[in-house]
Amino acid sequence: MMHRSAYPRLASKIKLSSGVKISRFATLSASCASKFSTWQVVRRQNLLRTPSILAMQNSQLNYVISSQFHTASRKMDEYRVESDAFGEVQVRSDRYWGAQTERSLENFKINQPQDRMPTPIIKAFGILKGAAATVNIQYGLDPKIGEAIQEAAKEVADLKLIDHFPLVVWQTGSGTQSNMNANEVISNRAIEILGGKMGSKKPVHPNDHVNMSASSNDTFPTVMHIAATLELENELLPALKSLRKALQAKTDEFEAQKIIKIGRTHLQDATPLTLAQEFSGYIAQLDFAITRVENSMPDLRLLAQGGTAVGTGINTFKGFDEAIATEVSKMTGLKFKTAPNKFEALAAHDALVEAHGSLNTLAISLFKIAQDIRYLGSGPRCGLGELSLPENEPGSSIMPGKVNPTQCEALTMVCAQVIGNQTAITVGGMNGQFELNVFKPLIIRNFLHSTRILTDSMRSFEKNLVIGLKANVDKIASILQESLMLVTCLNPKIGYDMASKVAKNAHKKGITLKESAMELNALSEDDFHKLVRPELMIGPANYK
C-alpha cells in the first residue's frame, strides 16, 4: 500500500494538459490522507483485529483513494486556470469569462440570477467594443488582433454569448466588473478565433487590446447611453405610438356613433361631453408623452467614451472620442456624438434622470387612462357600466362568471413600479462624488426595467383591451338623463341661484329636473325642452 505521505506528493504532480496545476488536488489528497490516518487510529485501538476485516478495510481505503483521484481527474478537464493581479482562479472550461469575472461571481452573490446585468447592456458592450477595435486599429492596434476582437464583439452584440455574462448589477458602482466581463469574454473568444489557448491572454489581452484606450469609468456610461437610446428608439416609442394610434381609431369609432355621456369631476356628476371628447384627452396625453421622450433623447446620444479615468482622456489620442461616436453611429444606425464635457459625462447622469422623468410622466398618464377605463367599465350591472371591456380570462376562483379588468390592473401596477424606479434613479443620480458617479448599474438597471415593462404593458393593453373596447350606448344614455347637472344649461335663462334650487329640489324629492322646474315655476315646459338638450352642451354656444 502507498504510504500516506506519498498522497500529497502525488497530487502535486498531477497537472492539466495545459501544464497548470489544479489546486483542488491538494484538498483531495489531504482528504485521502485524513481517511488513511483515521483508519490507522482505529487499527491502533485494536478495533479491527481479524485479518479478514483488515483486508476489507485495506480494499475500501484503496477504493476511496482511487475514486477520489478519478473524480479529480475528470474535473481537471472541466476547468482551466485564469489569473489576474490577485493570483490564479479556476474557471469552467466551457465559459469565456476570466479571473475577474469569476471573482465577482464569488464576491457578489446577490439575487442571482434574477438581477443579472440587463441584456441591452450586454448588447451595447458588444457594439462599443467592436467600435473601439475599429478605431484602435487606426491608432496602432495590430489589425489581426483588432479583426478578431471585432468578430468576437459582434457575437456579443448579437447576444450569441449571453450565457457568458453572469454578473449581477450589484457590484462596483462604476460597472468595472461587467466591463471586465466583456473584456475577458471577447478576449478569450478572439483567442479561440485565432487558434490560441483560452486563458493565456495571448495573442489577445483583455486589458491591453480589448480595453485599449478605455477605462471602465468612460466605457460603462457609454454603454448606458447606447442601451437606453436603442431601447427607447426601437422598443418603447414604437409601442407608445402604436397605442396612441389604437386609441385614435377607437375615438374615431365613438365619434361616428355620436355618443353623448355625462361628465364627472371630483367623482361627482358634471356637465355632458361626448365619449370621443373624453378619449381625445387620453390621446393628447400620449402625444405629449411622445414629445417628452423624444425631447429627452438628444442628451442620451452624447457618449462619454474618450474620457477614460476621470475625464481627461489619458491613454487615448486626439480624435479618438469623435471616431468612437462615428463608429457607434454606423453600427446602430442612430446618430451619436461625443460628449462635449467628459467630466460631466463620467461624474453625473442627469441625462438619464431626465429621460426617466419622461417615462415617469408617461406612467402617470397611462395610470390615469387605465384607471378611467376600469371605472367606466365597472359593473357589469351594479357599476357605471358605460364601457364593455374584453373578457380575456375568468376573474374569480369562487364567483362563477366574474370577469375582471385585468389589463387595466396590470398596466397600473407597471406604472406604480416605474414611479418607484424613478425614486431609485433619482437617488442614483445624486451619487456622483467628485469625478465619478458610483451608482451607474443601479441607474441603468432601473431605467431599462422601466423601458421594458412600459413597452410590454402598452402592447398588451392595446392588443387585449383597447382594440376590443365597446361603448354601452343604452347605459350611457340612461345615466345621462338621470343627471341633475343638466340644470347647468338653465343658468343663462333662470340664473344660478334658481337653477341650484331646481337641482336640489329634484334631488331631495327624487323627481326629474323637469318636474322640479315646473313645481318651482322656474320656467315653462316649452322653454325647458328648448334649453335642456345635451347635444347643445358639448361645446361653446354659437352667438351671432
Q: State the catalytic residue, choosing from 12, 396, 478, 524.
A: 396
Residues 6+ apart with CB under 8 A from 271: 262, 263, 485, 486, 488, 537
Cell of 500: 341650484
Residue 510 phi, psi dihedral angles, 5° rounding = 70, 35
Amino acid at 519: E
Q: What is the C-alpha to C-alpha distance for residues 446 and 215, in angstroms, rounded to an integer?
A: 23
- In the DSSP assignment, the letter for residue 163 is G
User: Please, are residues 435 and 314 in contact by the beta-carbon 8 Å criterion?
Assistant: no
Residues 6 or more apart whose CB falls under 8 angstroms from that of 375 comprise 383, 384
Q: How far apart are CA 407 and CA 404, in angstroms?
A: 9
The rounded radius of gyration (Å) of the Cα atoms in the chain is 35
Which residues, in sequence order, are CB contacts of 206 under 8 Å at separation 6+? 98, 180, 183, 184, 186, 187
Residue in 446, 448, 468, 467 with CA at minimum distance from that of residue 456: 448
Segment holding 92, helix H or strand E: strand 87-92
Q: Tell the residue number behind the cell numbers 474557471, with chain if given.
A: 91
Catalytic residue among 3, 5, 266, 397: 266
3-state secondary structure of 533: coil
How far is 95 from 518, CA to CA, in rounded Å? Answer: 87
Helix (H) or strand (E) holding 87: strand 87-92
> CB neighbours (10 Å) of residue 504?
13
Please state, in angstroms and rounded to a whole number, the distance separating the CA atoms of residues 138 and 132. 10
Cα(418)–Cα(48) distance, integer angstroms: 70
Q: Give the residue among 367, 365, 359, 346 at the shortest CA–CA distance from 297.
A: 359
Is 266 annotated as catalytic?
yes
| 293 phi and psi angles, rounded to 5 deg | -60, -45
The C-alpha cell at 236 is 418603447
Q: Which amino acid is at 154?
A: K
- How many whole angstroms separate alpha carbon 308 and alpha carbon 215? 5
Enzyme catalytic residues: 266, 396
